[in-house]
Amino acid sequence: MTKAGLRSKDLLGIEPLDPEEIGLILDTAESMAEIGRREIKKVPALRGRMVVNLFFEASTRTRFSFETAEKWLSADTLNFAAKGTSVEKGETLLDTAKNLEAMSPDFLVIRHSSPGVPHFLASQLKTRVINAGDGAHEHPTQALLDALTIRQRKKSFENLKVAIVGDIAHSRVVRSNVWCLTKLKAKVTLCAPPTLMPVDIESMGVSATSDFEEALSGADVVMMLRVQIERGGKMAFPSSREYFARYGLTRERLALARPDAIVMHPGPMNRGVEISSEIADDADRSVILSQVANGVAVRMAVLYLLAGGTPRAWQEGA
């Protein structure tokens, strides 16, 4: 692969990407981020292209972020939600996707509660497929926007110590982040209560501990994860108060990390459960809103590169 483009027609996960492809996406996103600072936030890079957003699960940040990215690139956007459609009448997922494909979209962006659904559709369709989150499997664009945010603050990933803390067992964010950060040479430590830590997680090339203070010690990046209540996460500990007492990020605990450590959270946050408001709103340490802003830039870059765009060529005529 050269820096001319990505190898696959789809973005289904971080695991299949090599470090050069990840770097290409981050570099392209970095250059596209300035579109959001313009008075008129629109470039013609995807004019005449159609994107169908298929969201079978609730989403706020990811869906709006993709829609914003598509509109800023001048793509035509159609939004699909399962409620009130042929899916409720018994149509299969593949039949629904094939009927949509017959209308000649250029991209299907899909979120689904079942792991592997984007991979299945990509194998059956000619249309480009982007995984916007599949069950507890992967969330590739979240990992890429996290990596862009870390790179902006820390410049290099090599030997960077990243602590990822929270509901490891049910998180799709953590798997994509582990693949992404380890490919970029960062050192990742996962931390969770024993009931929320998958067996053999260290086989992914990370360290694992249930000791929060140990995970925080000397960390450059502290990434807090949401307790996935809807996937049974709350059944793994007695109460939210006890969880916060053991695993909530407070100013006292953050003092164990490096003085310039940044704090991340993919959202939505449960204040007083995973993180204190004092830390979440600390503009010197928290980069949570930068993650949201970078989400649009990363999704623009992914759409543009999968469409065959080359780095910075989007600026011609923009």
Segments in 103-250 forming alpha helices (H) = 117-124, 140-154, 172-183, 212-216, 240-247
pLDDT at residue 172, as a whole number: 92
The DSSP letter of residue 51 is E
pLDDT at residue 4, as a whole number: 63
pTM of the model: 0.94
C-alpha of 67 from chain center: 15
pLDDT at residue 313, as a whole number: 80
Tens of pLDDT, residues 91-141: 899 999 999 999 999 999 999 999 999 999 999 999 999 999 999 899 999
Sign of CA dihedral 228, 93, 25, 289: negative
Cβ–Cβ under 8 Å, residues 127 and 4:
no
pLDDT at residue 125, as a whole number: 97
Cβ–Cβ under 8 Å, residues 184 and 147:
yes
pLDDT at residue 2, as a whole number: 43
Cβ–Cβ under 8 Å, residues 40 and 166:
no
pLDDT at residue 311, as a whole number: 77
For every residue of 234-273, DSSP letters joined together read GGGSS-HHHHHHHH-B-HHHHTTS-TT-EEE--S---BTT
Tens of pLDDT, residues 203-229: 999 999 999 999 999 999 999 999 876
Residues of the chain with pLDDT under 50: 1-2
Q: Which amino acid is at 16?
A: P
Distances (CA, A) of 246 to 80, 261, 263, 293, 294: 40, 20, 18, 31, 31
d(CA 152, CA 170): 28
For residue 133, what are its two tokens?
Answer: 């989150």
d(CA 189, CA 53): 34
The DSSP letter of residue 310 is -
- What's the longest Cα–Cα distance across the chain? 58
pLDDT at residue 150, as a whole number: 98
